[in-house]
């Protein structure tokens, strides 16, 4: 089995862990695999961390999981490509689990922005493969999801001053999850489209003991 993704990785640092948990990092639109990989220094050393690079190159060191288009102020995107990349990530999870000898029942996704949108969809469509989801500054796209997994632990955060993906998108996501009986933990922060130190400490604390 091979993977089609370029990725960075940090193996579990605990030699006594037979099957380490896997943490998969999904960056945002226009970023790259190095962005969220900075989190790896703070993530539990028992875990193996994989940071994927999205396949569509926009500019130098700038990548996207699927294209976004604007017509004036109207935003659209390639829905078929979004579904395809979601399914590709799900299908290639086993490569990383096997290659790094990880525990298939302890997979966590940390996604930012477009990566968080994908993370929600992957979690619901992966037949229970995802144990935990940390969705940072994203939202649930109703066209990209059908609710199938009520057992994953989900952390959602958003900056109240976000001018890229407005805070109200998270409020709509929370309502939608409630309507579909999906449990989640939500935090808001005085920040824009990013992850400040308070946000970082918050989701790391939430993840502690859940890997």
Quick: pLDDT tens for 187-207.
Answer: 999 999 999 999 999 999 999
The yes-or-no verdict on residue 17 having pLDDT over 90 is no
Quick: pLDDT tens for 139-198.
Answer: 999 999 999 877 999 999 999 999 999 999 999 999 999 999 999 999 999 999 999 999
Helix axes of 114-125 and 79-99: crossing angle, nearest 10 degrees: 70
> What pLDDT sits at residue 25?
98
> What pLDDT sits at residue 77?
94
Quick: pLDDT tens for 30-68.
Answer: 999 999 999 999 999 999 999 999 999 999 999 999 999
CA–CA distance, 204 with 134 (Å, rounded to integer): 9
The DSSP 8-state label assigned to residue 2 in this structure reads -
The yes-or-no verdict on residue 73 having pLDDT over 90 is no
Is residue 150 classed as helix, strand or coil in its secondary structure?
coil
Report CA-CA distances (Å) from 24 to 5, 130, 178.
12, 10, 25
Give, in degrees to the nearest 5, the angle at Cα 59 between 7 and 30.
65
The yes-or-no verdict on residue 72 having pLDDT over 80 is no
How confident is the model over 69-78, as a mean pLDDT? 82
CA–CA distance, 144 with 41 (Å, rounded to integer): 32
CA–CA distance, 36 with 210 (Å, rounded to integer): 19
How many other C-beta atoms lie within 10 A of the C-beta of residue 121?
A: 24
Report CA-CA distances (Å) from 105 to 1, 23, 50, 51, 109.
19, 12, 16, 19, 13
Residue 70 pLDDT level (bands cut at 50, 70, 90): confident
Quick: pLDDT tens for 85-102.
Answer: 999 999 999 999 999 999
> What pLDDT sits at residue 186?
98
Residue 71 pLDDT level (bands cut at 50, 70, 90): confident
Model pTM greater than 0.85?
A: yes
Closest of 98, 110, 145 to residue 1, by C-alpha: 98
Question: Mean of the per-residue pLDDT values for the chain?
Answer: 96
> What pLDDT sits at residue 86?
98
Torsion over CA: 42, 202, 105, 34 (sign): negative
Residue 15 pLDDT level (bands cut at 50, 70, 90): confident
């Amino acid at each position: 089995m091979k993977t089609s993704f370029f990725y960075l990785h940090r193996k579990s640092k605990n030699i006594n862990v037979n099957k380490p948990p896997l943490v998969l990092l999904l960056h945002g639109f226009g970023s790259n695999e190095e962005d969220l990989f900075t989190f790896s220094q703070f993530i539990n050393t028992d875990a193996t961390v994989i940071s994927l690079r999205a396949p569509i190159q926009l500019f130098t060191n700038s990548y996207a999981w699927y294209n976004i288009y604007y017509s004036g102020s109207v935003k659209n995107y390639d829905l078929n490509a979004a579904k395809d990349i979601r399914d590709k990530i799900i299908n290639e999870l086993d490569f990383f689990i096997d290659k790094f000898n990880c525990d298939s029942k302890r997979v966590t996704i940390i996604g930012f922005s477009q990566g968080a949108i994908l993370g929600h969809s992957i979690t619901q469509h992966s037949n229970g493969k995802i144990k935990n989801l940390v969705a940072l500054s994203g939202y649930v796209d109703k066209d990209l999801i059908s609710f199938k997994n009520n057992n994953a632990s989900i952390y959602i955060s958003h900056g109240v001053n976000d001018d890229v993906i407005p805070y109200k998108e998270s409020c709509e996501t929370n309502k939608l999850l409630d309507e579909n009986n999906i449990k989640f933990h939500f935090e808001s922060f005085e920040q824009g489209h990013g992850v400040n130190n308070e946000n970082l400490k918050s989701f790391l604390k939430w993840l502690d003991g859940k890997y």
